[in-house]
Structure 1
Amino acid sequence: MQLKWFDEGMEAMWTKANRGKYNRDGLRYSSDITDVEWALVEPLIPPAKRGGRRREVDAREVINGLLYVLSTGCRWRAVPKDLPPKSTLFSYFDLWNRDGTLGRIHRELYVKCRGAMAREATAAIIDSQSVKGAEKGGVASTHAGMMRGRRSKARSAISSSIR
């Protein structure tokens, strides 16, 4: 029995050639970044700040630690001892999140991935919750959910029992 996409000339996803490209057997953890992946990410990591102490932690190991937490869903305190300490990982996560490094890495990899598939780097995701929200009130319900709560006048009133 032949599958439909073979008839239409599309390539199968898991061929022997593709399996070799995505094999992660030689890595310490399956979440670790490969040399090819690191070559894409390394230029996007900001250099250490001038002055003060030199950066002692390997940025690649920080990325490996962050990917480990992301892929396993473990708590920060459950990070294995052969990765940087949880405090270091969280500090870099917080710094790179605030300064936009994680966003730049995501955007760059997304654009390259879409380009490799010969597609534009735009996408929209619609899930059943979005559709349900639009059906129930759309913009009006979104607007109400984003507004700051109003303060009660009674809460801000000054009362005194002294005469």
Structure 2
Amino acid sequence: MLGKKTYGCKRHILVDTQGLLLAVKVYTARLMDRLGAPLLLQELTDRFPRLCHLFADSAYTGPLIDWIKATLGWETEIVPQADQKDPWVLINGEPVRLPKPKGGFQVQRHRWKIERTFGWFIRFRRLARDYEGLPQSSEAFIQIASIQLFLKRLTPFRPFSI
């Protein structure tokens, strides 16, 4: 068999440190992360003037980091995975020893922020599966879900009283 028989998509999102959505792009699953990230970030050149530092996983390495620095002026830090065989990694040019991973799920530095956002999106039935035919429709539903998350945080908690 050649090729993938099912349709798929990749959701590239940019979130702040609280996990709230800043930007979203949806592409086919055939597009590698390194090629999809510039398509998301090139539209953000003047939108976030105070943004200066990005955290990314190891899928966003290579010439992408240089492109982000040259085009946007942002520093990019690659967050290492906890299950790497080598306990020493370079973070910002300095060697750092990673703790040994335990069995089961491990909270990793800065990764939980993006995973939490994807978890929030999965609570919306429309985003739990890829129902949309167009990437723009999927982007719109992700934006609607994030607006609902924003509004829930803005409303004060009112306990029920009789």
TM-score class normalised by the smaller sequence: under 0.3
TM-score with structure 2 setting the length: 0.26
TM-score with structure 1 setting the length: 0.25
Higher helix share: 1
User: Which is higher, the Rg of structure 1 or of structure 2?
Assistant: 1
